[in-house]
Amino acid sequence: MTLQLDLFGADDAAAPPAGLSLSGRLVEPDEDARLADLIDATGLSPFRFQQWTGKRMTRSFGWHYDFEGGGIAHAEPMPDWLADIRQRTVSAFGDDPAHYEQALLIRYDPGAGIGWHRDRPQFGRVIGLSLGTPATMRLRKRSGAGFERTSFELEPGHAYRLDGPARREWEHSIVPLEQPRWSITFRTLA
């Protein structure tokens, strides 16, 4: 797995964080659209956190993080098409697909993004597949009074993996887009 350094923004001061890896193309454009349809057909619901309702639409399989209760609980098993895409995506990074027990499907409609966060500590490594419009994932890590920052392109049909410092020390976010984007993220349990 080679890191595609040209995908990193030229203005970013920081080197790519340790623990971030990017795949090559795993999904061709015609299949990209088919996967987006399959995601939509699962019955997505607006992300909710306390009184906030996000603009992004989500559905979890395997395990579900309950933002109200603050823990994880079993969710419906992954359908076959999702287990197939997990096989392809996770094995591209040399990992065992069976270890990635959670899948989160997201559709970002125009105007929807995801704010600065680290994924919940109940989860371990994260592998994400991007579909639809290209986007930029921003990364930041506290450094003195400010932040060290970097970013990379989320190319449709390509995947990223967050482990080590990229997973545990850096926060990530995606700016709202004008065209829809879908993602499938797989997580191990911590």
Ligand X SMILES: O=C(O)CCC(=O)C(=O)O
Query: Which residue's Cβ has the minimum distance to ligand X?
Result: 183
* Residue among 99, 59, 61, 101 at smallest CA distance from 78: 61
Strand blocks (E) in the chain:
20-25, 45-49, 52-61, 63-66, 71-74, 102-108, 114-117, 123-132, 135-143, 146-154, 158-162, 171-174, 181-189
Residue 163 in the binding site for Fe ion (CB under 5 A): no
Q: Could you tell me which stretch among 11-19, 29-37, 98-106, 116-124 binds Fe ion (CB under 5 A)?
A: 116-124
Binding mask 33-62 for Fe ion (x = CB under 5 A): ------------------------------
CB of 174 to Fe ion, least distance (A): 9
Query: Which residue's Cβ has the minimum distance to Fe ion?
Result: 119
CB of 114 to ligand X, least distance (A): 5
Residue 119 in the binding site for ligand X (CB under 6 A): yes
Residue 124 in the binding site for ligand X (CB under 6 A): no
Residues 60-79 that bind ligand X (CB under 6 A): none
Dig out the tokens for 96 from the structure: 């065992």
Task: Tell me how far apart the alpha carbons of residues 12 and 83 are, in angstroms, rounded to a whole number.
Answer: 36
Which one among 21, 89, 172, 186 touches ligand X, defined by CB under 6 A?
172
> Which is nearer to ligand X, 130 or 150 (by Cβ)?
130
Residues that bind Fe ion (CB under 5 A): 119
Residues that bind ligand X (CB under 6 A): 104, 106, 114, 119, 128, 130, 172, 174, 183, 185
